[in-house]
Each structure stands twice: as C-alpha cells, then as structure tokens.
A and B are shown apart, each in its own frame.
Chain A
Amino acid sequence: MLAIAAAITLAVGCSQSEPPPFRLNMVEMVSQETSDDYQQEIADVLGALFGTPDEPVALEETGLDANMLARSAGPAWSDEKGVQRGLYRKHCVHCHGISGDGRGPTGRFLNPYPRDYRQGVFKFKGTYTANRPTTDDLHAILNNGIPGTAMPAFSLLPNSSVESLVEYVKYLSMRGQLETALISYVYDELGEDDDGGRIPLDPAADPEQREIVLELLAEIVEDWEAAEQRTIAPDESQIPSDDRTPEEIVASVAKGQQLYHGKEANCYTCHGPTALGDGQQNEWDEWQKVQQKFLEETNRLAKSIQERASQDDQDESSEARLEEDKQTLAKRQEVVDTFYPIRHAIPRNLRQAFYRGGQRRLDIFWRISAGIAGTPMPGSGPASPGATANLSDEEIWNLVDYVMSLPYEPPSRSQEAIVPNKDEIF
C-alpha cells in the first residue's frame, strides 16, 4: 500500500503552481473598446515598468523602495532568520486581490467591499480631497484597521512589515492608475496610421511613445509625492483650547447642531434629520458608480440591439453594425457577469460612537473638512491650501463637537430592558 502511494506521489510530482499574473482592468478596457492586441501590449508595457506579482520592479521614476516591495511581493514564506516574506499574499491578497482590485476570493462576501487601489483613491486620509493619501495615512489604516468593516488591524506585525505593505499598496495603486492612463492614451492617440494599419503601442521601439508613457507615469508619481506635503493642518488659532469650560463645550455643540441642520453644510440631507444615516441613500461611491454606469450602458446597448434586430428592413451597413454591436455586447456582458452586487453608498449612522477612519478629533475634523474621497461625502473645508471654504475651521470644530456628542444624547442611549432575572445575569 505504501509502495503504491509512494509511486503515485513520484509520478504526479511536487511542482509548485504557476506564479499568478496581474489581472487587466477589464471594465476600463472594454468600456474604451481596447482591442485584444492593445490589451496585450498594455499588459507588456505594465510588465516592463512594474514587473510581476512575484518580481516587482521599482523604477527610479516611481520613487518606490525596491527592498520594501520585495518583502511584500511573491509567495508567502519565512527565511532562516524567521523574517516573513510575501507579506501581501499572506495578509492582503484574499480580499484585495492580486492586482489590488478588491476582488480577492473573500471580497464578494464582505460589506463594504474591499478597496480597489487602482484608481489611487483612498477614503480615510488627512490630505485635501483631491490629493492622494500620505504614507502615514496608509500606515495608520494598517495599524488600526477599519472598525465596522472587515479590515483588521496589523499593528502586531513588525513595523518594517507594515511599512513594506504600505509601499506595496502604493505600487499597486500607481500601476493601476498607469493602466487606466495607457488605456485612455491608446483610445485617444493611437488607432490607425495613414495606410489603415494599426499603430502598435511599443514604447521600447518608439521614442515618442516612450516619452509620453514616462510622462504619464511621472504625473501619477508626482501626485503621490505631492500628497506628502498636503496634510490638512487645522488653523492653530481656531483649534479649541484643551481646557474649555463645560458651558463653552455646550455652546460649541449647540452651534454644531445648527450647522448640521443648516444650508452651508447640508449634513441632514444625507445623514438624516436624526443623524441615523437615513437621509438620501440613492448615491454610489466612485468604485460602484463606474460599475453602475457600465451596467447601464450595457443594458442600453442590449435594448438597442433588440430593437434593431426586430426591424425587417436593414441595409448591409446596418447589419454589419448590428453584428459588431452584438460582439461588443458579448464582451460587455462577460465583464458585467464578474461584478459583485452593486450597492448604494449609505450615509453613516452618526450615533454609533466609533468611526471608521480613526477615533481622534483630528480624524473627524479631516472627514468634515475634506470629505471622504471617492464617496458622496463632500468636504466643507478648503479644497486646497488657501482656497475658500463653506465652513471655517472653527465651525468645523463645532461640528466635530456635535457629532462626537451624538452617541451620548438621551435618544442614542438604548433603554435598559427590565428582565425579571436581571440580578442573576452577569
């Protein structure tokens, strides 16, 4: 028996599975009608500039640290000294996916869905709305997790591991952003040459294309680097003092309540008149909106095909277009079939006493001042340093006081149930 088992094992072998490849952003590719040839060429360009999941490339232009990337990339294993490697695959890939698209195997069972890094948009950060997060912002998310979601805290990992993961997230994000930029570039600029042939995307062979691609990359990298200086520092003169009297705090809360129900901040329209998050609930966040639009467009196309197909009098060119559209519809349907159920962005219930993006007063200040990037939550502070704002810093601190007092108002406190054996329950 043992001999048979040994023989089978030897025959089958002990080979490892193929290293996983990055996945293409099919929503962007299909909605911008990128042909299969261009898809392959874009994948090749990304491969040359960013490498593979097992062997990442950190181009000097990106400013990324190759050693940190190497620790996060590749299969999960630990070396003789016990240093853990392949951190991304050990801790993150099952939700966030090999390409950082938020579509790992466990992603579909979560509410909210895991973050898709490829747009470079992150919700919980301390920078102005349109800016990228800083390294510290991402580090804070990894350290504290996001309560209310499935994102756990990783503070028990060594600090170097967390730093390495932050670097890898930025790497995946830059890669995803460049992919979208290349898709648009191919759609806008390339196409047919004078002889009717296809202009291939080949920066290695074409110096002009090379320059443009590197420029696209430089723009993306610059955004990330600029963000490090874009943390919103509340105006010192408007920060409430640490030793306010109870009357001052009460006054601030009352002011905040006025602002909450007022027209400049308009909080109640989404968060509801009682701050339970039951105002409007019909909007989508950025990541869902892209899918929703793609789905609506696909449904429109399907309807139009149906209408045209039922018509009897079709000339040749209409027939040809109908066939083309049917093929496009098939491709779009393939992409739609991969979507998770599309969900609305539900405004937060403010009576819960804990907050997703951080529990500090400063974190709440940032949420109100810069809004939450990628979501319908708008910023009421300046959109960039020195810009005019809906609310002054002082007013935002009033709102912070109001919001943080909401969970402790009498209406927020649940009535204690009076059960007969209350004294016996521990």
Chain B
Amino acid sequence: MNRFWGFLFFLVPVGGVATFAAAPYFNIWLPRDISEHGHAIDHLFFFILWLTGVVFIVTELVLFYFMWKYDAKANKKPAKFTHGSHSLEVVWTIVPAVTLLFIAIYQMDAWASAKMRPPLIPGTEEMISPTVEVTGRQFNWDFRYPGPDNELYTQDDIFRTDGKLYLPVGEKVLLRITSADVLHSFFLPNMRIKQDVVPGMEQSMWFKAKEKGGYDIVCAELCGWGHYKMKGRVFFLSRAEFDEKLEAMRLEQNTMRVAALDEED
C-alpha cells in the first residue's frame, strides 16, 4: 500500500509530459505568431521549457526511485545518517546558478530588441513618429491616430473608441501607450508583445507584423472587475489600405451632415 504513494509521484512526470504532448491537439498552445520578432520569444520559451522540463522529469524520476526502493515495508535496513556532503552542496548550487546566469545572458538580446532598441529614423538617434497612441481605461482601449500631419497631439488627430485598431503590415510601427486611470497592460498575443501601461508615464511599444488579418488585443494587468472583458481587435492592413482607412476615419470625424436616412420600410 505504501508503494502506492510512490507510484502516484511517478504519475506526476508522466502526466506532465502527456499534458504538454497533447496540448497542441486541443488548441491549448501558443497563439499564431505573425510578428517579425516573435520567433525569438518563442525560441526562448521552448529552450526554457525543454531545460526545465528535462530537469523536472529527471528529478521526479529520482524521487520516485528513492520512494520505491527505500519504502519501509520492502526495505528493513535501518537508515544511515550522514553529516552532509560539502562537495555535493557546492555542485548543486553552482550548476543551477550557472544555468540561470546563462539564461539571463541568453535572453538579453530578445529583451533589448523589444524594450530598448526602438526603431529610429535612419541616420539619426530619434525614434520614428508614432503610428497611434493607445490609451487604456477601465474597461476599453481608446486609440488616437496622428492624422494627416503625422504628428500626435495636434488638431487633426483622429480619435477612435470602438476598440478596433488599424495598423500597417510589413512595417515597423511605434505605438505610444498610456493609461487614463489605473494599471493596464496592452497585450497582443499574436505579436508576442505586451507592456504594462502606467498612468502618467510615457511609454512606447514597437513591432513589425508579417501577416494581414485581425487579431486580439487583451488586457494583461488586473485593472478592476472588467479586466476580463477589456478586449480589442487589431487589424493589419497593407499600407495603401491603411492610408485609405485613415482617410475614411478622418472624414467620419469631420462629418457635419446627418447620414442619409434609410428608405421607409
């Protein structure tokens, strides 16, 4: 009966491996990556997954082995106590420390390219001008496009509050992101990029999408009771379509006439 508990511990690594193996078939895996930069993030994810996974399985199997072999009912020899092994302690401190140091250095480039190297105007140290300003508020994402003069915070800015963000595909885009009230986090799962937005703090986010289409925007920082439904949709369009869309939105904002009333039905 006591070996039963040892056996349960054995099921843990078995169950763990089975879950990860089966997950893609149930569509519980990474969302489709459509970004230029995303492969670096995914690569890091898999690297750490394999590294920690192998260590985990080995550790669990060793644990199971000891529970099975030295089970009290089957093993009558008295336990031998030791005062510890200094060299063992050194080894199992140094090895994980080196591994962690390795991971820390290995990921620096991915982090820097997402957070520290904004797209610059060629030949200068200046950031390219933002394509849109995203403001998170409880519980909606509001967008402000710079308008024809390509400068934010001027009178021709275009405001959209319907949660639909339009961006050009195949280009590096810079987003200004901020919050109107509390912490939110602007998360684009299919771009593998997210950033907490802090009220009063001017932050930027940059990426390049490789495919057209509509993808999710979700809030990734608990912001209140509506956090779960603080969704938006980002649409990547070709540059020409994007310019057309901006013009259509600009015209809509300048509407001064009532739309033609529907025919009587």
Contact of B140 among A147, A239, A360, A426 (CB under 8 A): A147
Contact of A153 among B154, B161, B203, B253 (CB under 8 A): B161
Mask: chain B, 126-164; 1 = CB below 8 Å from A; 0 = not? 010000000001111010100000000111010111111
With A152-B163, A360-B252, A360-B253 given, can you name 14 additional A-B contacts, CB distance below 8 Å?
A147-B140, A147-B142, A147-B161, A153-B140, A236-B257, A239-B257, A354-B142, A359-B160, A362-B257, A397-B256, A407-B155, A408-B153, A413-B153, A426-B115
Contact of B255 among A353, A362, A397 (CB under 8 A): A362
Per the 8 Å Cβ criterion, residues 234-262 of B in contact with A are: 252-258, 261
User: In this assembly, does B213 line the interface, its C-beta being within 8 Å of a C-beta of chain A?
Assistant: no
> How many angstroms between the C-alpha atoms of A365 and B255 in the bound complex?
10
Mask: chain A, 113-154; 1 = CB below 8 Å from B; 0 = not? 000000000000010000000000000000111010010110
User: In this assembly, does A385 line the interface, its C-beta being within 8 Å of a C-beta of chain B?
Assistant: no
Interface window among B27-35, B72-80, B222-230: B222-230
**B residues engaging A (CB < 8 A)?**
115-116, 118, 125, 127, 137-140, 142, 144, 153-155, 157, 159-164, 202-204, 225-226, 229-233, 252-258, 261
- CB distance A155 to B140 under 8 Å? no
- CB distance A365 to B256 under 8 Å? yes
Minimum Cβ distance to chain A for residue B42 (Å): 24
- CB distance A145 to B162 under 8 Å? yes
- CB distance B256 to A361 under 8 Å? yes
Return 23 A-B CB contacts under 8 Å, by A number: A145-B163, A147-B137, A147-B142, A150-B139, A152-B139, A153-B140, A153-B162, A155-B164, A156-B163, A156-B164, A156-B232, A239-B257, A240-B256, A354-B159, A359-B253, A361-B254, A361-B255, A361-B256, A362-B257, A362-B258, A365-B256, A423-B125, A426-B116
User: In this assembly, does A404 line the interface, its C-beta being within 8 Å of a C-beta of chain B?
Assistant: yes
Give chain A residues whose Cβ lies under 8 Å from the Cβ of B160.
359
Minimum Cβ distance to chain B for residue A92 (Å): 12
- CB distance A153 to B163 under 8 Å? yes
Q: Which residue of B lies closest to A134 (CB)?
A: B261
- CB distance B257 to A426 under 8 Å? no
Minimum Cβ distance to chain A for residue B246 (Å): 14
> How many angstroms between the C-alpha atoms of A173 and B142 in the bound complex?
29
Give chain A residues whose Cβ lies under 8 Å from the Cβ of B257.
233-234, 236, 239, 362
Minimum Cβ distance to chain A for residue B191 (Å): 17
Per the 8 Å Cβ criterion, residues 393-426 of A in contact with B are: 397, 404-405, 407-408, 413, 423, 425-426
Per the 8 Å Cβ criterion, residues 325-355 of A in contact with B are: 353-354
> How many angstroms between the C-alpha atoms of A231 and B257 in the bound complex?
11
Give chain B residues whose Cβ lies under 8 Å from the Cβ of A299.
none
Q: Which residue of B lies closest to A424 (CB)?
A: B116
- CB distance A239 to B118 under 8 Å? no
Q: Which residue of B lies closest to A151 (CB)?
A: B140
Minimum Cβ distance to chain B for residue A149 (Å): 9
The interface residues of chain A, by DSSP majority, are classed as loop
User: In this assembly, does A106 line the interface, its C-beta being within 8 Å of a C-beta of chain B?
Assistant: yes
Give chain B residues whose Cβ lies under 8 Å from the Cβ of A94.
225
- CB distance A359 to B161 under 8 Å? yes
- CB distance A152 to B256 under 8 Å? no
Give chain B residues whose Cβ lies under 8 Å from the Cβ of A423.
125
- CB distance B163 to A155 under 8 Å? yes
> How many angstroms between the C-alpha atoms of A425 and B202 in the bound complex?
8
> How many angstroms between the C-alpha atoms of A362 and B137 in the bound complex?
25
> How many angstroms between the C-alpha atoms of A413 and B152 in the bound complex?
12
Contact of B254 among A144, A236, A242 (CB under 8 A): A242
Give chain A residues whose Cβ lies under 8 Å from the Cβ of B115.
426
> How many angstroms between the C-alpha atoms of A353 and B164 in the bound complex?
19
Give chain B residues whose Cβ lies under 8 Å from the Cβ of A362.
255-258
List the 4 closest pairs (A to B, CB-CB), nearest first: A155-B162, A152-B140, A359-B159, A360-B255
> How many angstroms between the C-alpha atoms of A354 and B261 in the bound complex?
27
Give chain B residues whose Cβ lies under 8 Å from the Cβ of A156.
163-164, 231-233
- CB distance B202 to A404 under 8 Å? no
> How many angstroms between the C-alpha atoms of A126 and B144 in the bound complex?
24
Q: Which residue of B lies closest to A155 (CB)?
A: B162
Give chain A residues whose Cβ lies under 8 Å from the Cβ of B144.
354
> How many angstroms between the C-alpha atoms of A147 and B204 in the bound complex?
22
Give chain B residues whose Cβ lies under 8 Å from the Cβ of A353.
153, 157, 159
- CB distance A150 to B226 under 8 Å? yes
Q: Which residue of A lies closest to B229 (CB)?
A: A152
